[in-house]
């Protein structure tokens, strides 16, 4: 082993770890539309990473980049973050991007880091489906709604509006303490559907979400 090799290995061994986080990823993104995610980096030693570059890659191509802010994410002591905007591919499907952090410019030697994340790309929405969920005439708030890749949650009035492409779906609604049958739907125009929730017995308030 040469002296240069030994020195390189020593530097590599003393590099601090860098961890990445990606959040605020939309459950679905329309094909070709722009969307944003939040990405952050944290030093294992709590070093300040503000103003460092962070990128989003599609394979080896950089599709979004930015600089980490000077202040950590609220509630953390060293997770420096940025909001990055990118464009969804033109074809529906599940797409894997990766966030990459290059630590080369830091005074303290750190490891580079990469972290993958998935985005569900759907066809451009043609119509709006309004779902109303109630039990015995009372609206059900925060009920989870799923139609294929589309997701939504009911508001205080028990309603949720979902933009989706034309096609056939199975409407699944879930809320702890209630039972609701799946509803097959064919969407060809704007539509509205009422879902009646049946309250489960009090000894089974936490039914498991199995859909």
Structure confidence at residue 6 (pLDDT): 47
Structure confidence at residue 11 (pLDDT): 46
Tens of pLDDT, residue by residue over 90-138, are 999 999 999 999 888 788 899 999 999 999 999 999 899 999 999 999 9
Considering the domain boundaries, does residue 85 fall inside one? yes
Give counts: helices (H), strands (E), the chain. Answer: 1, 18
* Signed CA dihedral, 57, 59, 60, 63: sign only: negative
Owner of token pair 């605020």: 24
| CATH number of the domain to which 182 belongs | 2.60.40.1120
Q: In this structure, are 141 and 91 located in the same domain?
A: no
User: 177: left (phi > 0), else alpha (psi -120 to 50), else beta?
Assistant: left
Half-sphere exposure of 94 (CA within 13 A, CB side): 7
Q: In this structure, are 110 and 143 located in the same domain?
A: no
Considering the domain boundaries, does residue 144 fall inside one? yes
Tens of pLDDT, residue by residue over 149-205, are 899 999 999 999 999 999 999 999 999 999 999 999 999 999 999 999 999 887 655
Q: Which two tokens stand for residue 12?
A: 């590599």
Considering the domain boundaries, does residue 110 fall inside one? yes
């Amino acid at each position: 082993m040469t002296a240069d090799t030994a020195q390189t290995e020593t530097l590599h061994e003393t590099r601090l770890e860098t961890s990445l986080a990606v959040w605020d990823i939309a459950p679905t993104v329309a094909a070709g539309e722009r969307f944003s995610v939040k990405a952050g980096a944290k030093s294992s030693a709590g070093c300040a990473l503000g103003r460092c570059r962070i990128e989003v890659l599609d394979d080896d191509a950089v599709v979004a980049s930015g600089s980490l802010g000077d202040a950590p994410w609220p509630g953390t002591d060293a997770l420096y973050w940025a909001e990055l905007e990118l464009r969804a591919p033109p074809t529906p499907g599940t797409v894997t991007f990766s966030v990459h952090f290059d630590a080369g410019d830091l005074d303290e030697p750190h490891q580079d880091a990469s972290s993958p994340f998935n985005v569900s790309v759907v066809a451009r929405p043609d119509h709006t489906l309004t779902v109303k969920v109630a039990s015995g005439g009372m609206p059900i708030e925060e009920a989870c709604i799923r139609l294929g890749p589309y997701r939504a949650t009911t508001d205080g009035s028990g309603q949720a509006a979902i933009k989706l492409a034309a096609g056939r779906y199975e409407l699944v609604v879930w809320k702890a303490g209630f039972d609701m049958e799946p509803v097959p739907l064919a969407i060809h125009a704007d539509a509205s559907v009422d879902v009646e929730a049946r309250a489960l017995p009090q000894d089974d308030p936490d039914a498991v979400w199995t859909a």
